[in-house]
Amino acid sequence: VQAQDFANPTVGWITYYTTGPDPETYLFRTEDAGQHWRSVLSWDGPNAPTVVSGADGTEVLVVSGCCSGASIFHSTDGGVHWASYGLPAGASAAFLNPHEGWANIPDAQMQAYVVFHTTDSGAHWTRIARFELSPNGSGALFPLPSSVGYFTQAGTLYHSRDGGATWKAELAGRPEQIPASATFMRMDSRVFNTRDGVLTSYYCSASSCGGPDLAYAYSTSDGGAHWSEPVRLPTDATGVSRIIFIDPNHWIATISELAPTGYSVRRVIRTDDAGQRWTVLVAPPDPSGYLTDWDQFSRMQFIDPMHGWAATRDTNSEPGISSLRTTSDGGVTWSVVPLPAPVVEANTSKP
């Protein structure tokens, strides 16, 4: 399972891809919480980084591909009919919903990113900004409440509230909670509505490291006009843990720890007060380190504080078998969601 998006506890979408010399990606839809799945779309290649569905699950937008050029697929009738649009090579896109999104495209000299905006699912794009890059810099584009945000390698957030006509630099200074020696690496965001959102800033504490090992979350409740003081997020043996922001107060994280056996194990933790206190929800049942019969939590999604899904990779069975789990009690217990037969066959086939 490569990506999933559920609109409510019963209606959702998943993508998976087959391996081999001619990999393909498939999109499935369920209307009964995964008891039955319907294949609605397939395409060449293994990449489907984004699936965004509408409020009732009837409308969906999929962004596939990456470096050599991406494609956008859009359906308004549950996957019966599709429109498709292309994105240039090197472009990356972020969508707030199946209609509105932004894309940034590097120029030929890799000295700047050009930012585009769409309100019709990628059928048409309007250029709204151009950002210069530092010599070793990079940038990423993401939606913020009622706006779009862009950051540079220096850690400055550029925020527009008028569709990109004007931009304002925010969060340019480093709060005292963040060590002066830490190197900024990237930002991303989670938008809940037109008022509330969380911005996450990632840092590396060493002079050189392979990935971020410090992360801080800023919250806004007025559409980005003001931001809270940063809250430090949990870290683990491998660096920054995976954080899922359910709503402004309820967050879920998975953290890795080293068991006495030397294996890396995972715990699921949760906060109900925006990161002030964390509680362990799921922990390895014994010193051997396995988290029940599965270990690798990834691609977790919650639609409310109680209902969520997580793609996992089993550890006590055949290697490489993907599964999908669901919870209805906020992550305390998880049950298996049946996968479409082709997914199981693809994952269990031998090379």
Give the C-alpha distances (Å, rounded to integers) separating 107 from 56, 114, 154.
38, 7, 19
The structure tokens listed for 123 are 């059928």
Instruction: For residue 250, give the CATH number of its domain.
Output: 2.130.10
Domain boundary among 42, 71, 97: 97
What is the pTM assigned to this prediction? 0.78
50, 80, 97 - which closes a domain = 97
Average pLDDT of the segment spanning 81-87: 92
Same domain, yes or no: 72 and 113: no
* pLDDT tens per residue, range 100-152: 888 888 777 767 788 888 999 999 998 888 877 654 455 666 666 666 666 66
The tally of domains found in the chain comes to 2
Statement to judge: residues 80 and 108 lie in one domain = no
| Residues 164, 59 within the same domain | no
* 151-155, 243-247, 257-261: which is most confident: 243-247
Which pLDDT score is estimated for 11? 95
Per-residue pLDDT band for 335 (boundaries 50, 70, 90) equals confident
Asked whether residue 347 is domain-assigned, the answer is: no
Is the pLDDT confidence value at 99 over 90?
Answer: yes
Same domain as 176, residue 288: yes
Residue at 35: amino acid letter: Q
Q: Which of 10, 115, 25, 30 is nearest to 63 (CA)?
A: 25
350: in domain: no
Pair (223, 291) in one structural domain? yes
Same-domain status, 93 and 127: no
DSSP 89: T
Mean pLDDT for all residues in the chain: 78
Residue 345 lies in a domain: no
Q: Taking the CB of residue 242, how many other CB atoms lie within 10 A of it?
A: 18
Question: Considering 45, 64, 97, which residue would you say is the last residue of a domain?
Answer: 97
What confidence category does residue 291 fall into, taking pLDDT thresholds of 50, 70 and 90? Answer: very low
Check whether 330 has a pLDDT greater than 70.
Answer: yes
301 and 251, same domain (yes or no): yes
Mark whether 154 and 35 lie in a shared domain: no
DSSP string, 232-272: EPPEETTEEPEEEE-SSS-EEEEEEEE-TTS-EEEEEEEES
Are residues 115 and 32 part of one domain? no
Q: What is the per-residue pLDDT for 88?
A: 75
- Specify if 346 maps to a domain: no
Residue 214 located in a structural domain: yes
Percent of the chain with pLDDT over 90: 23
Q: Is residue 36 part of a domain?
A: yes
Q: Identify whether residues 187 and 326 lie together within a single domain.
A: yes
User: Are 216 and 299 within one domain?
Assistant: yes
Domain that holds residue 40: 1-97
Same-domain status, 239 and 289: yes
For residue 274, the model assigns a pLDDT of: 94
**Span 294-319, mean pLDDT?**
70
CA dihedral for 78, 84, 88, 90, sign (positive or negative): positive
| Residue pLDDT, tens place only, 248-266 | 999 988 777 666 666 666 6
